[in-house]
Structure 1
């Protein structure tokens, strides 16, 4: 049984319990793996206490965000929203569909299709994906998700890492890989692409 405080990737195979929390609920077994449609069809009680994502048919589960994480997310939204160009929209925590066996939930996305009502956006709808690193998602955010977003051709990736000081790096997709184009100073990060904005981190 995976520990509740750590992210868990599981296909539900090998006869092991697929319990995601010690007492609250269980995820149905899928020895053959999961699809995006099956994850999106999970009842609300299966996803209300944690984030459930899908990578190559395996579930990736992580705890609900901390208050520090949410404060940083609020700062990002307050800084980016006024600077958005026409034809874009900022939303936190939405599903992004990448093929039939990948479904990620960035902490924040900037979309190039404002006003659409959907349960999951296509990767091609995303101009920028942002992730705030937490202790349980370090490897995912720094390596796994960065690689998946690049493979999905999402033009920009913003990675924010809490600490003293808080650090942030903006990456731009070039030749199929992300290259850093802006890094934070002691208190903020200045970006000029895909639009101009100052994000105060502390």
Structure 2
């Protein structure tokens, strides 16, 4: 489970940059979360399918996959599984500066609570327009849309449905993402 490990103080992005490169961390409100263990095979297969679909369909924006740092501010640095940035000025040589337009997190038993609670709150606060949480073992996803600076109740999509993204002109057949027969 990604656990807040370093607890003796509130950390900043400058602290984060001094930590060993072979370790993956995220900062949420200055609290450091270790990003281990490595994702399971099903997680990576879903990410691979998403990466393919975004490569194939996305025309005007750029998508990225983890590990890429998204620096929201000095106390909040995350590495979403997949995200899309439409404003080129946010893309630097080292990281992304500011909120993506869309974020996808693929949960595991160790990340589900953080993805649904801390990260959802964080993405809402920083203005991520569309937030998707994928539950590989249960083969469904939740999609949150930002309206008036708040996420409403999630739209739920099962593996046998087609997801039309609100912030981008693209859609995904979820049975292909989950590698199932319709």
1:152 corresponding residue in structure 2 = 126
Instruction: List runs of 5+ in structure 1 lacking aligned partners.
Output: 1-5, 14-31
Greater shift, 166-175 or 191-200, is seen at 191-200
Partners of 1:78 and 1:128 lie apart in 2 by 16
Q: 1:140 aligns with which of 110, 114, 121?
A: 114
Q: Is the 8 A contact 1:53 1:61 kept in 2?
A: yes
Q: Is the 8 A contact 1:73 1:107 kept in 2?
A: yes
Q: Is the 8 A contact 1:183 1:189 kept in 2?
A: no
1:7 correspondence with 2:5 = no
User: Any residues of structure 2 matched to 1:76-91 within 5 Å, and which?
Assistant: 76-86=50-60, 88-91=61-64
User: Any residues of structure 2 matched to 1:1-202 within 5 Å, and which?
Assistant: 6-13=1-8, 32-45=9-22, 47=23, 51-63=24-36, 64-86=38-60, 88-93=61-66, 94-114=68-88, 116-124=91-99, 126-164=100-138, 166-179=139-152, 182-194=155-167, 195-200=169-174, 201-202=177-178
How many angstroms does 1:53 deviate by?
0.5
Question: Which structure has the bigger radius of gyration?
Answer: 1
Q: TM-score, normalised by structure 1?
A: 0.76
In 2 relative to 1, CA 85–170 (structure 1 residues): closer, same or farther, beyond 3 Å? farther
Instruction: List runs of 5+ in structure 2 lacking aligned partners.
Output: none
The number of residues matched between the two structures is 172
Q: TM-score, normalised by structure 2?
A: 0.84
Partners of 2:147 and 2:166 lie apart in 1 by 13
Partners of 2:162 and 2:98 lie apart in 1 by 25
Partners of 1:123 and 1:10 lie apart in 2 by 25
Partners of 1:186 and 1:12 lie apart in 2 by 39
Partners of 1:110 and 1:145 lie apart in 2 by 16
Partners of 1:104 and 1:189 lie apart in 2 by 28
How many angstroms does 1:119 deviate by?
2.2
